[in-house]
Structures are given as C-alpha cells and as structure tokens.
Chain A
C-alpha cells in the first residue's frame, strides 16, 4: 500500500508530491518544499557518515529506507540524481519495482513532453492518472 509519493530533482527541489491515502499527513506546499530540501540534505550526509568498512566496489549511495512507528519510507535515486520517495505501510519490505515503474511513467509522461522544463514541477494529467492506476494495483 503506497500512501504518498514525492519526487525531488537533482538540486533538492520538490517537483511532484501526491497523497494517495489519508494515512500520512497532507503537507502544505511550504511544508512539502521543506521536506524535499531536508530529505535531499540528509540523503547526502548519510553517505558521508557511513561507519562501514570501505570496499572499492561498494559506495554508500545514501538513504534507501526509513522506518518509523506508523509507516516506512523508501527512496529510489535514478542515475541522473532524481529521487523518488514512496511512503508505504510497514508490511511493504521493498517497493523497488513500483518505484521503477513510476520512473518509467515520469520519463514517458513528463520528460517526453516537449513543453516540460527540466527540474521544474510536473503538471500532467496523464501522469497523475497513470500513477493512480499503478498505485491502485
């Protein structure tokens, strides 16, 4: 069950935010922007403070999930630095597949739109509808 989705661009700006259920608080636009900026910061810092032994093949890629009492947050970062953050219930161990599909939708319905400006908020009814379909599954 996916409660909410946030998409954050490369520089920590919020480009999409949507609640699918009432399980998590509906953030005001200001709060959502603060959320995006803060998450961007802690994601970058978390990889700097890794205590794990360094291996050549493994680099710390930043936060992948956050566990809380009522929900779990999953973060998927694309190779180009866009972060997809899904808020799910606690039963959901991995939503990598769903986040990947959301990335595909973002590519198809936002990036391929000739009128879409990079790094700017996504406003597309098609994207909204397809996302709703995906989450309903």
Chain B
C-alpha cells in the first residue's frame, strides 16, 4: 500500500512539463492555512497542461503562481541534493541506478511527513514522485523507471507531434499519457506490495 501524493516531470531546461496529484489535500506553499473544500474535492492539474481551455486557470491566478513557485522549489531541492550526492560519491563507475547527470544514484529523501523519489533519464528528463514515508526507495525506483520507459516514452516521445526541438521545452498535453499514468498510479496505490 503506497500513498502517492504527486508527480512532477522536468525537462532538461528545468522547466516543469507535467504535474498531477492524487491524494493531496494541501494547497501549494500554504502550509499554515487551512485548505478549502474546493481544493480538496477535484484533482488539480498543472495549469499549463490542462487539457481544455475551460480547465485552464488564467496565467496570473494566485493558484497558478503558487504552483509554479512550488515546482521551482521542488526542482531546486532535488537538483541541489543530486549535486551534493555526486560530490560525495567516490565510486566513479560500476553499479546500477546512476546514469547521465546522476552518477551518485540519488534515489530518494525522506522527512517525517513524506518521501520524495527522484529518477533521471539518460537524456536528463527528471521524474519526481512524492509518497508517504513508508514507501522505500528500492520499491519506488522501478515504478519511476516504468513510468519513464513504458508510459513517458510510449505516449509522449513516440507521439508524431512530439516537439523534437531540444532548445524549446513544451508541456505534456497528452490525454492518453495522463490517463495511463493515472491508471498505473491507482494500480500501485491499491496493490499490497509494489511489483
């Protein structure tokens, strides 16, 4: 039983290209304010990747700005952690799990309320998943790799409309990707042990 809170996907330009959340009842960066019923009811999607314009919040809405700020913080924390781990890691080669910009193999960190899992693809796409503390790094790494290999690559990269220009980052606006990801997360949330 894994309680999954949310996922962030960042491209090589440090840009958040995808965000979605599942069991989250707290608004971004409002740790001290009570959450309203409105934010707890419907699942929230990353504003710039909302599928229809009706769902899309105005670009300068407080919610949107808070989300963007939070994504930047999350990226900053993961990036800095990865960097200090790489500094400390003395084993230059060998072993599995580390590749590309992550030779130290940073896989997760935990606080007393949540655990943040990190996976970096060889091309520098970063997947960040937050779960409850009990989910171990060893059990969630395969999940992130699965999301990259069988969901991200299949539904986003293999899409003929995928933006191949490496200098521009574009948010993921693919309904199939979202649906398959949702199903997969629901599956691992309900399974007693993660396969």
**Hey, which bits of chain A sit against chain B, CB under 8 A?**
4, 22-27, 31, 34-35, 38-39, 41-42, 45-54, 58, 60-71, 87
Bound CA span A38–B84, Å: 8
Given known contacts A68-B104, A68-B107, A69-B104, is B95 in contact with A25 (CB within 8 Å)?
A: no
Q: What A residues does B106 contact at CB under 8 A?
A: 66-69
Bound CA span A65–B81, Å: 11
Q: Give 22 CB contacts A-B under 8 Å.
A: A23-B90, A24-B89, A27-B87, A35-B88, A46-B116, A49-B74, A53-B25, A60-B113, A60-B114, A63-B111, A65-B110, A66-B109, A67-B106, A67-B107, A67-B108, A67-B137, A68-B85, A68-B89, A68-B106, A70-B95, A70-B105, A71-B88
**Hey, which bits of chain B sit against chain A, CB under 8 A?**
5-6, 21, 24-26, 29, 31, 35, 70, 73-74, 76-77, 80-81, 83-85, 87-91, 95-98, 104-114, 116, 130, 132, 136-137
| B26 adjacent to A46 (CB under 8 Å) | no
Bound CA span A62–B83, Å: 18
Given known contacts A69-B107, A70-B95, is B76 in contact with A60 (CB within 8 Å)?
A: no
Besides A39-B84, A69-B89, 11 other CB < 8 A contacts? Answer: A4-B88, A42-B77, A51-B24, A53-B25, A54-B26, A58-B112, A64-B112, A68-B85, A68-B106, A69-B96, A69-B106
Q: What A residues does B104 contact at CB under 8 A?
A: 68-70
- The A contact surface, by secondary structure, is loop
Q: What A residues does B74 contact at CB under 8 A?
A: 49
Bound CA span A70–B29, Å: 33
Bound CA span A47–B77, Å: 11
| A70 adjacent to B91 (CB under 8 Å) | yes
